[in-house]
Structure 1
Amino acid sequence: MKETRRLSVARRLDRCTVLGPGTRAVIWVQGCPLRCQGCVAAETLPFEGGDEHSVDQLADWLCGLPDVEGVTLSGGEPFAQAGPLASLIDAVRVRRPDFGAMAYSGFRYEALLRGDPDRRALLRRLDLLVDGPYVASARHGLRWRGSSNQRVIALTGRHDHLETGPDTSAGVELSVAADGSLSWAGVPPTPGFRESFEKRLAARGFVLRAEVRRKA
């Protein structure tokens, strides 16, 4: 695996219960080579922008979060920064060996298996993968997925019990940052959800700044 120690990050969230099992941290990376029609996080697609963080900085942040069982990697496209993300998971597990890892990818699992060494290295470190491009015309309202063509793939035995759970939307969560800015996280249950949701918030006096609008 190529040793890379820096990541371009669009956003971080220290606690989330709608993007994977349990309570998790979330890292949205900046940049995606795909252009899925109807992408709800278009601001994360350009590789320009985002905040640069070292692997060590992010590992310290994750290890300092209490009562968090793991991290969910989203974006953007995590496998476009697979090398540093694999290094990040390794750095965290030195201190927290049971720390879980889940990722979203617009690429299919089978394609990632044929990918370069960095992509295969990241796959080996994940417990769960949600794979495949977002398809606006496919069925919505599913657990942790934007459309029914996407799959939740267990890569370890950590979450075997999830196969018996309901395959329904986990919903979305609102978060207020220390500076008072409002953001939301989750997989929208219906097409056009983001626009409708943000209009309703604005009608009540809550305006989400563009730089903090993100999703999985």
Structure 2
Amino acid sequence: MTEVTTLSVARTLDRCTTLGPGTRAVIWVQGCPLRCRGCVAAETLPFEGGTTHSVPELADWLGGLPDIEGVTLSGGEPFSQPGALASLLDHVRARRPEFTAMAYSGFRHEALRRGGPDRIALLRRLDLLVDGPYVASEQHGLRWRGSANQRVIPLTDRYAHVTGEPDTSAGVEVSMDGDGSLSWAGVPPTPGFREGLEERLAARGFVLRAEARREA
């Protein structure tokens, strides 16, 4: 595995209950080579932009968060920065061995398994994967994923039970930051959700931050 010490990040969230099991932190990475039509987080697609964070800095942040069971890696495309993310998980688990990891990827699991050593290293450190590109015509309000072609794949026994649970939308969460700005996290249950939400909030005088939501 290549030793990578920095990560390009679009956004972080310290508590979320709509992007994976339990209460989780979320890291949205910056940059994605895919261009899924209807992506709800188009601002995370360019590799330019984002904020550079060191792996130890992010590990300290994650390791110090109370009452979360793990992290969800989203974006953007996490498997475009696999070496840094694999290293990040190693750093966190050195302090919190029970810490779980989930990731979204626009690539299929089978393709990731045929990838280079860094992608395989990240895959081996995950407990749960949501794979496949977002297809707008197949959006049906499913749990943790944006379209029916995507799969929730347990990679360890930790979350083997989730495939037997109800496959209905986990909803979205709106949060307010310290500066008073609003942002949201989750997988939109219907096409056009982001635009409709932003219009309704704007009508009431609220403006959402432009940073990443989740293209799923």
Specify the TM-score bucket, using the shorter chain as the normaliser: over 0.9
Q: Secondary structure at the match of 2:183?
A: strand
Q: Secondary structure at the match of 1:158?
A: helix
Partner of 1:214: 213
Partner of 1:201: 201
Residue 139 of structure 1 and its aligned partner are, at CA, apart by 3.6
Farther-moved stretch of structure 1 (17-26 vs 173-182): 173-182
Partner of 1:182: 182
Partner of 1:173: 173
Tell whether 2:95 aligns with 1:95.
Answer: yes
Q: Secondary structure at the match of 1:200?
A: helix
Residue 164 of structure 1 and its aligned partner are, at CA, apart by 2.1
CA contact (8 A) 2:152 2:163 kept: no
The AA in structure 1 aligned to 2:101 is A
> Could you give the per-residue CA deviations for residues 45-96 of structure 1, whole angstroms, max 9, x where no partner exists?
0000000000000000000100000000000000000000000000000000
Two-structure CA RMSD over aligned residues (Å): 0.8
Residue 180 of structure 1 and its aligned partner are, at CA, apart by 1.1
Q: How does the TM-score come out when normalised to structure 1?
A: 0.98
In structure 2, how many angstroms separate the alpha carbons of the residues matched to 1:162 and 1:203? 38
Partner of 2:19: 19
Q: Describe how 1:1-216 pairs up with structure 2 within 5 A.
A: 1-210=1-210, 212-215=211-214, 216=216
Identity %: 79
| Structure 1: runs of 5+ lacking an equivalent | none
Farther-moved stretch of structure 1 (136-145 vs 42-51): 136-145
Q: How does the TM-score come out when normalised to structure 2?
A: 0.98
Over 4 Å off, 4+ runs: none
Residue 160 of structure 1 and its aligned partner are, at CA, apart by 1.8
Residue 163 of structure 1 and its aligned partner are, at CA, apart by 2.2
Q: Secondary structure at the match of 1:58?
A: helix
In structure 2, how many angstroms separate the alpha carbons of the residues matched to 1:172 and 1:139? 15
Residue 132 of structure 1 and its aligned partner are, at CA, apart by 0.1
| Structure 2: runs of 5+ lacking an equivalent | none
Residue 204 of structure 1 and its aligned partner are, at CA, apart by 1.3
In structure 1, how many angstroms separate the alpha carbons of the residues matched to 2:16 and 2:134? 21
Residue 213 of structure 1 and its aligned partner are, at CA, apart by 4.6
Residue 120 of structure 1 and its aligned partner are, at CA, apart by 0.3
CA contact (8 A) 2:44 2:212 kept: no
The AA in structure 2 aligned to 1:18 is T
> Could you give the per-residue CA deviations for residues 172-214 of structure 1, whole angstroms, max 9, x where no partner exists?
000111111110000000111110111111111111132x352
